[in-house]
Amino acid sequence: MTRVALYVRVSTDRQDHDRQIRELKEFVAEEYPDASVERFADIISGTGDEGGAEYRRLREAITDGELDVVIVHELSRLSRLGGGEIHNFLQHALEHGTSVRDLEVGLDLDVDDSMVDQAVTQMIAGLMGDLARIEQTQKVRRIQSGIDAAQAAGKWTGRPPTGFEVVDGHLRVDPEEYLRVRAGMERVAAGESLAEVADDVGVAASTLRELYNDRPGLYLHGEADDDRVDAALEDIRPLSEPNAEPAGDLNKRLKRLEQKVENFD
């Protein structure tokens, strides 16, 4: 019975992971119908250079002589571990009597091949990896360039801060959430229990604690270092000075703030 290992290395896209596994299983069913199959799958950052726990486990299985053939969906992805990792992996497999097959381009490295054929296959695989690294680097640069251009144009490209939302690419204040955070901070600053205040104003205690410790100026005084956040705050300025008013007045203040923001729309 042929001992087969399936290895995939994908980013956080679950659909891509499932697709690769499905295609590998279909290939094994056709090529090795009586094989025993073990699966190794690393789901990691697309730009990460870490090997992944499953990759290390795969190498250990090869070292221990537990595998006859490793089928990789995209051998070129190993290039992200370093320029020579594809060669190192293939050489490691050959030294321990394990063949390697790449499903994406049909590249085969068999332990029964001549030394010349093995050398040619490893050279081709290395070139594939180099090209993949270049393509990945260019992709990252294009993405970063797009982010930089969007930020230069005043657009918000990430997750908005608590109390804000993104509208047509630009940051805007979410009146309800912003005012609830502000009211909670005012009361905590006045000495009330953070847990009780958080429950009262409808903000998670962990969120209120983090914002109170790290960004009090943004919510208590409407101050921001980021020009995009500062521009969003213009919709609700001027803000009254922090005042730990009773919780019952929160809805009145919220309605006044919402009306003010609506006047800008």
Give the span between the Cα atoms of 130 and 146, in whole angstroms. 25
The per-residue pLDDT for 234 is 84
The per-residue pLDDT for 52 is 81
pTM over 0.85: no
The per-residue pLDDT for 92 is 86
The per-residue pLDDT for 157 is 81
Q: Tell me: the pLDDT tens digits for 195-247?
A: 999 999 999 999 999 999 999 999 988 888 888 888 888 877 777 666 544 44
Q: Are 28 and 35 in contact (CB under 8 A)?
A: yes
Helix axes 175-189, 205-214, angle to 10 degrees: 70
Q: 102 CB contacts (<8 Å, ≥6 apart)?
A: 71, 72, 73, 74, 75, 108, 125
3-state secondary structure of 33: coil
The per-residue pLDDT for 125 is 55
The per-residue pLDDT for 80 is 65
Give the span between the Cα atoms of 102 and 23, in whole angstroms. 12
Lookup result for tokens 């019952």: 248
The per-residue pLDDT for 204 is 93
Q: How many CB atoms lie within 10 A of CB 158?
A: 8
Of 101, 103, 102, the residue nearest 111 (C-alpha): 101
Q: Which CATH code, of 3.40.50.1390, 3.40.50.300, 3.40.120.10, 1.10.10.10, is assigned to 3-143? A: 3.40.50.1390
The per-residue pLDDT for 99 is 87
Pairing verdict, β 164-167 and 107-109: unpaired
Give the residue extent of every domain in the chain: 3-143, 164-262
DSSP one-letter string for 136-157: HHHHHHHHHHHHHHHHHTT---
The per-residue pLDDT for 41 is 86
Q: Which two tokens stand for residue 185?
A: 């901070």
Measure Cα distances from 94 to 53, 57, 119, 160 in Å. 21, 17, 11, 51
Give the span between the Cα atoms of 221 and 173, in whole angstroms. 14
The per-residue pLDDT for 120 is 57
The backbone torsions φ and ψ at residue 221, rounded to the nearest 5 degrees and listed phi first, read -125, -5
Separation of first and last alpha carbons in the chain? 70
The backbone torsions φ and ψ at residue 4, rounded to the nearest 5 degrees and listed phi first, read -115, 140
pLDDT in tens, the chain (265 residues): 899 999 988 766 566 778 888 899 999 999 999 899 999 988 765 545 555 889 899 999 999 999 999 998 887 777 666 657 777 888 888 888 888 888 877 777 776 665 656 565 556 555 555 555 545 555 656 667 767 776 777 788 888 999 999 998 889 999 889 989 999 999 999 999 999 999 999 999 999 999 999 999 999 888 888 888 888 888 777 776 665 444 455 555 556 556 655 654 5
